Structure 1
Amino acid sequence: MSDPFTPEVIAQIARHMNDDHADDNVLIVRALGGIPSATAARMSGMDADALEFKAVVDGIEVPVRVPFAERLTERRQVRTEAVRMYRDACAALGVTPTH
């Protein structure tokens, strides 16, 4: 099955996540990406199955892949899934969601 997201769409989503949700990226990587010591994270890519991040751990950038709950087929699903990831991460870390 081919990936429904073009490089342009992925770049737009990454720009939004990194510009507007940098703190959310860190929470997602810490809680759902299995990197609790991450001090920074930026979205570096995605496909229909997961968001990909570059996380900083002890000053070193490491790749992290965080799977979606299900395979996505449309762009509008990305926002819903990113919000779910953020809320799940907040719950796992005992952080109150701010949005």
Structure 2
Amino acid sequence: MSDQFSPEISSRICNHMNEDHANAVLLYAQFFGGVSQATAAQMLAIDAQGMDLTAQTNGESLPVRIQFDHVLADSEDAHHTLIAMVKQARVEAKG
């Protein structure tokens, strides 16, 4: 894990996403993680290469690793990338 993504930064991003953007985290699991039947998801960790989620589906928790399309430079890059990913998932979901 790069210096830009210390455990504290990863924890801060995950807590924010889980508390304030739970629907976005679910979209990540469904769209980018391929767990289309997921009914809930939580972000467990984020690093420069990707994010680790757990997705709930059919009463089970499944680990999900989602690779980013580029190596993140810092937490600001993470912020912009996560927003772009949610927008992409919403557009694709509408078909």
Please list the CA deviations of residues 58-77 of structure 1 after superposition, one character each: whole Å capped at 9, or x if unmatched. 11111111111200121110
- Cα distance between partner residues in 1 of 2:69 and 2:62: 23
Segment of structure 1 superposing worse, 65-74 or 6-15: 65-74
Partner Cα distance (1:52, 1:92) in 2: 22
Q: How does 1:76-91 map to 2 (within 5 A)?
A: 76-91=76-91
- Structure 2: runs of 5+ lacking an equivalent: none
Off by >4 Å, runs of 4+ in structure 1: none
Could you say what the CA RMSD is over the residues aligned between the two structures, in angstroms? 1.3
Deviation (angstroms), 1:6: 0.4
TM-score (norm 1): 0.89
Deviations 1:21-69 (A, max 9, x none): 0011111111111110000001001111111111001111111111112
Q: Which runs of 5+ in 1 are unaligned?
A: none
**Corresponding position of 2:60:** 60
Deviation at 1:79, TM superposition (A): 0.5
- Counterpart Cα distance in 2 of 1:59 and 1:44: 18
- What's the TM-score once normalised by structure 2's chain length? 0.92
